[in-house]
Amino acid sequence: MIIKVLGASGSEVPGHYCPAFTVDGKILLDAGTICISLNITEESNIRYILLTHAHFDHIKGIPFLLDNLVVRETGSTVTVMSGQEVIDDLKQNIFNDRIWPDFTRIPTPDAPVLRFGIVRPGDEETIDGYRITAERVSHTVPSYGYILEKEGGKTIAYSGDTGPTDLFWKKVDTRNVNCLIVETSFPNRMEEIALQSGHLTPSLLAKEIAKMKTPPPRIYLIHAKPQHQQEIEKEIPALGREDIRFLTKGEILKI
Ligand SMILES: [Zn+2]
Ligand SMILES: [Zn+2]
């Protein structure tokens, strides 16, 4: 499995883009950054977008991707998948013919550039050779973490935004996950803000990792607020793990 990091930050400043990761070029995990990081061919290869939640920093790339595909007349369809509440939010608040066009009817209702797919927490679903499991995590809005298993291959888990949570780690612990991508948004001194806003600090992350009997062997961190990233990075060695570090925009992981 090849994972390309289009963005891995909790906000946007020069050099830091919002979270999005391509899996083997055709599935996107979150969509905070798309078109400013992909070339035309790479854009056209995207078939599925798995959204953790509807916060703007995780969906921001979708409107421009759809617009580009329609303008280029690629004829391709992108299926945006998430929990029912997340999809409802996108329909009502983004693709509502006011903020942005309803791309489920463009270029034609029969062959639109956008389709929606609903995932149910705990269920397994197979798309394009990948076994997908979504599980609820704990954020300020309905949010899902994902486990992706390539058929006959490796398995990754992606938390999206979450504060302390349980179900997702139980599921990860049963699935022989090779690589975990998990958020760490704030430094330890901001624990109260992290908890209020449904995020983690390094010391909160340590408690989450300890919830698993067999934590994944590789753990990558994302979603630091750029203003706090250096401070957070200094607090990571205290976790006592060598296989843990922040991802950076443009990085490519071979799992
Ligand atoms: Zn969020
Ligand atoms: Zn976020």
- Say how many Å lie between the CA of residue 139 and the centre of ligand 1: 7
Name the amino acid, one letter, at 79.
T
The parts of the chain modelled with pLDDT lower than 50 are none
Q: How many CA atoms lie within 13 A of 162 on its CB side?
A: 25
Q: Closest-lying ligand to the alpha carbon of 198?
A: 1
- Say how many Å lie between the CA of residue 157 and the centre of ligand 2: 17
Q: How far from the centroid of its chain's Cα atoms is residue 137's Cα?
A: 12
28-66: per-residue pLDDT in tens? 999 999 999 999 999 999 999 999 999 999 999 999 999
Residue 157's region, left for phi above 0, alpha for psi from -120 to 50, else beta, is beta
What is the residue whose two structure tokens read 């290869």? Answer: 45
Q: Distance between CA atoms of 46 and 74, rounded to whole angstroms?
A: 12
In DSSP notation, 60-107 reads TTHHHHHHHHHHTT----EEEEE-HHHHHHHHHHTSSSSSS--GGGSS
Domain boundaries, the chain: 2-254
* pLDDT, position 47: 97
Using a CB cutoff of 5 Å, list residues around ligand 2, an ion.
57, 161
- Say how many Å lie between the CA of residue 9 and the centre of ligand 2: 8
Q: Which two tokens stand for residue 240?
A: 């006592």
- Say how many Å lie between the CA of residue 10 and the centre of ligand 2: 5
- Say how many Å lie between the CA of residue 152 and the centre of ligand 2: 31
Q: Closest-lying ligand to the alpha carbon of 54?
A: 1
- Say how many Å lie between the CA of residue 34 and the centre of ligand 1: 18
Percentage above 90 pLDDT, the chain: 98
Superfamily (CATH) of domain 2-254: Ribonuclease Z/Hydroxyacylglutathione hydrolase-like (3.60.15.10)
- Say how many Å lie between the CA of residue 141 and the centre of ligand 1: 7
- Say how many Å lie between the CA of residue 60 and the centre of ligand 1: 12
Determine if the pTM surpasses 0.85. yes
Q: Closest-lying ligand to the alpha carbon of 19?
A: 2
* pLDDT, position 143: 98
* pLDDT, position 125: 94
